[in-house]
Amino acid sequence: MTTPIHGWVRRPLLSFLPPLLLCASLPAFAASEAELQQRIQKLKAELDAANTELKTVQAENKELTETNVKLTKADSPIQIGNLRVGGAIRANYTVGDYPSSSSGAASRAWEDDGNVSLDTFRVNLDYSNGPVTGKFEYRWYNGYNFLHTAWLGYNFDEDSQMQVGVNRVPFGPGAYGVSQSWLFDQHYYLGLSDDMDLGVKYSTQRGNWAWDVAYYYSDEGQYTGASRDSARYSYDVVNESGDGYEERNQFNLRGIYSFASKGEGVSTDLGFSVQMGQLESEGPQSDGDHYAASVHMINQWGNLKLASQLTRYEYDVDSDQPLGTDALVQYGAYDFPSTAAAEAWVPAVSLSYTYTTDRIDWLDYVVPYMEYSSIVKDEDGFNDSELFIIGVALARNGWYIYNDLAFSNGNEFVGGDAAFGDRLGANADNEWLTRYNINFGYYF
């Protein structure tokens, strides 16, 4: 059978139809691709323009922020060339276990509703001229005044500095030990935190390690007050009788290692502190010496901070000293002499949380805290001295307000019924007393 010619023609034509249709669609496809490329180019141009605008806004915001910071730093104190002048004035409201007053004089007793008094007025000078820097602070209290800080320094680089003069002794996890409260922890009352002495200190950062090495010729000295040798800011061994001991030739070493963060806002600073020095005799007793060693740690989880410290200290003193025993040391500060145990352990812990109050116009942030510290003494006949504080600090611009509720069976500043001057030593009364304190401070 023969196939009709029209059938033969139909089959080849049908076989060519798909390529023909494809060729017919090529111009439309090419047009679509060209349009797509135009759209992509347009979008890229718009994206580039947006990125350029974003960078401009970021630069303007950065410049504005830096300007605001500079204005804040320059306008808060008085700026005179390279010297900034600032200061603070603080007042206290105190009520607690204190003797009531029947004579009409100011009383801190519960039944007398406590009293308000001037805490301190201070002047601060900060100097900066290239790598040369310096700080000076002097304080006035009711009836006495003293130097707090006076040093000149040199910044070798961003991470290394030397200070010469009356500066803070590097001992413990920070400037104020573990404490966040106005009353501090028991380390402060033994001269083992926020202690100012006369000497030279070198501080440097090497990788994860922060190092401080210091030599102190003596304590910060005696200033104006009623006592012979206790008108000073920080607690030192004082020569209140004239023939006691004086601090000389103290060496300090502190190292703090910062562990790498395992999460946002998580950090651990683990460190140690060591100090040793001489006690120069001004009387019939032989010279003495002292040492202290401490391990400390700060754990931070976001705004939550846990600070802990354990310290061992010993004073080798002669029983021929004016106190008549080798179990006690003569301390002094704030124009009041006191005594403390010559050998003891000092555990301390503090838990605090910093909360930024973005929704409260009249408040910047609050810091609630809870602290415990104790002086665990070697002497069998001595009672331990404990201090427990619950409080909260409020901050707003130049204002900083402490609210402390303190309980203690051995702190000179908590309660007035027990014998003053013995509470860090024998602590014979061993009585738990209470103090509620509000400290209003304006810093300028």
Tokens of 157: 């680089």
Q: Which of 395, 392, 410 lies closest to 443 in space, CA to CA?
A: 395
Q: Is the dihedral of CA 90, 94, 99, 104 positive or negative?
A: positive
- Residue 273: exposed, middle, or buried by beta-carbon count in 10 A (0-12, 13-18, 19+)? buried
Residue 102: per-residue pLDDT: 65
How much is the pTM? Answer: 0.82
pLDDT value at position 100? 87
Dihedral sign (CA 400, 405, 409, 414) = positive
What SS3 state is found at 243?
coil
* Residue 95: partners with Cβ closer than 8 Å, 6 or more residues away: 108, 109, 110, 113, 114, 115, 435, 436
Structural contact between residues 88 and 440, judged by C-beta atoms closer than 8 angstroms: no
pLDDT tens, 364-415?
999 999 999 999 999 999 999 999 999 999 999 999 999 999 999 999 999 9
Q: 298 lies in a domain?
A: yes
Residues 113 and 160 in one domain: yes
Same-domain status, 346 and 234: yes
Least confidently predicted of 97-106, 107-116, 128-137, 285-294: 97-106
Closest by alpha carbon to 425, among 389, 381, 388, 373?
381
276 in any annotated domain:
yes
Q: What residue numbers bound the domain in which 436 lies? A: 85-443
**Shared-domain flag, residues 197 and 319:** yes
Q: Are residues 29 and 94 in the same domain?
A: no
In a domain, 80, yes or no: no
Specify whether 38 is located in the same domain as 100: no
Question: Considering its fold, how many domains does the chain have in total?
Answer: 2
CATH number of the domain that residue 210 is part of: 2.40.160.10
Question: Residues 104-126: what's their mean pLDDT?
Answer: 91
Secondary-structure percent of the chain, ordered helix, strand, coil, rounded to 5: 15, 50, 35
Length of the chain: 444
For CA atoms 406, 410, 412, 415, give the dihedral sign. positive
For residue range 42-79, list pLDDT tens digits in order. Answer: 666 666 655 555 444 444 444 333 333 333 333 457 89
Residues 71 and 93 in one domain: no
